A and B are shown apart, each in its own frame.
Chain A
Amino acid sequence: MAYLLEARGLSRSFGHVRALDNASFDIEPGEVVALIGDNGAGKSTMVKAMTGNLAVDSGEILFGGEQVTIATPHQASAMGMEVVYQDLALAPHLNPVQNMFLGREIPRRGLLGFLGFMDEKRMRASAEAGFAELGGTVTAFGAPVGSMSGGQRQQIAIVRAITWADKIVFLDEPTAALGVVQTKNVLDTIKRVRDKGIAVVLISHSMPHVLEVADRIQVMRLGTRVATMPARGTTVEQLVGAMTGALDLA
Chain B
Amino acid sequence: MTGFLRRIGGMQSVWILGVLLVIVAAFSVAAGRKFLSTSNFSLISQNIAVWAVLGVGMTFVIITSGIDLSIGSVLVFSSVVAAKIMDAVGGDGWSTAFLGILGALVSGIAWGTLNGFLIAKAKIPPLIVTLGALSVALGLAQVLTGGIDIRSVPEALTDFNTYIKIAGIPALPFVALIVVIIGGIVLHRTRFGRYTFAVGSNELGARRVGINVDRHLIYVYALTGACAGLGAVLALAQFGTTTIAGQSLTNLNVIAAVVIGGTSIFGGEGSIFGTVVGLFIPAVLQAGFVIIGVEAFWQGVAVGSVLVAAVYVDQSRRAAAQRGGSRPSILSLIKSRSA
A→B interface (CB under 8 Å): 73-74, 77, 83, 85-94, 98, 102-105, 107, 115-118, 142, 145-150, 153, 177
Interface centre among A85, A92, A105, A148 (most CB of B within 10 A): A92
In the A-B complex, the 5 residue pairs with the smallest Cβ-Cβ separation, listed nearest first, are: A93-B268, A116-B190, A89-B205, A103-B209, A91-B201
Closest to B200 in A: A93
16 A-B pairs within 8 Å (CB atoms) are namely A74-B210, A88-B333, A89-B202, A89-B208, A91-B202, A91-B206, A92-B202, A92-B326, A93-B200, A93-B268, A93-B269, A94-B201, A107-B191, A142-B7, A145-B326, A177-B333
Pair B190/A92 contact, Cβ less than 8 Å: no
In the complex, whether B327 has a CB less than 8 A from a CB of chain A is: yes
A116 touching B191, Cβ below 8 Å: yes
Q: B38 in the interface, Cβ–Cβ < 8 Å? A: no
Q: Which residues of A contact B210 (CB under 8 A)?
A: 73-74, 77, 103-104
In the complex, what distance in Å separates the CA atom of A147 from the CA atom of B204? Answer: 19
User: B182 to nearest A CB, angstroms?
Assistant: 11
Q: A111 to chain B: closest CB distance in Å?
A: 13
Query: Which chain A positions have C-beta within 8 A of B208?
Result: 73, 83, 85, 89
Contact B204 A89 (CB under 8 A): yes
Interface residues of B (CB under 8 A from A): 3, 7, 186, 189-192, 194, 197-198, 200-202, 204-206, 208-211, 268-269, 321-322, 324, 326-327, 329-330, 333-334, 337
B314 to nearest A CB, angstroms?
13
**CA of A103 to CA of B191, assembled, Å:** 9
B198 contact set on A, CB distance < 8 A: 91, 94, 98, 102
Q: Give the residues in chain B near A88, CB-CB below 8 Å.
A: 205, 330, 333
A90 to B7, CA, bound (A): 20
Bound-state CA distance A25–B333 (Å) is: 27
Task: Kindly report which residue of chain B lies nearest to residue A77, judged by CB atoms.
Answer: B210
In the bound complex, residues from chain A placing their C-beta under 8 Å from that of B209 are 89, 102-104
List chain A residues, Cβ under 8 A from B206.
91, 102-103
Closest chain-B Cβ to A153's Cβ sits at a distance in Å of 8
Determine how close the nearest CB of chain A comes to the CB of B217; give it in whole angstroms: 15
Given A98-B194, A102-B209, 15 new contacts (CB under 8 A)? A83-B208, A87-B330, A87-B337, A89-B202, A89-B208, A89-B209, A91-B197, A92-B330, A93-B201, A102-B198, A104-B210, A105-B191, A116-B191, A145-B326, A177-B333
Q: How far is the CB of A155 from chain B (nearest CB, A)?
A: 14
Minimum C-beta distance from A54 to chain B (A): 14
How distant is the Cα of A93 from the Cα of B206 in the complex, in angstroms? Answer: 12
Please, which residue of chain A has its CB at the minimum distance from the CB of B189? Answer: A117
Return chain A residues, CB-CB under 8 Å to B194.
94, 98, 102, 105, 118
Task: Report the minimum CB–CB distance from B327 to chain A (whole Å).
Answer: 6
Report the nearest A residue to B338, measured CB to CB.
A87
Contacts of A177 in B (CB 8 A): 329, 333
Chain B positions within 8 Å of A103 at CB level: 206, 209-211
- Tell me the bound Cα distance from A148 to B326 in angstroms: 8
Closest to B3 in A: A142
A30 vs B190: C-alpha distance in the bound complex, in angstroms? 37
A107 to B190, CA, bound (A): 9
Chain B residues positioned under 8 Å from A102 (CB to CB): 194, 198, 205-206, 209, 211
Measured CB to CB, the nearest residue on chain A to B4 is: A142
Say which residue of B191, B200, B327 sits within 8 Å of A146 (CB atoms): B327
Give CA–CA (A142, B8) in the complex, Å.
Answer: 12
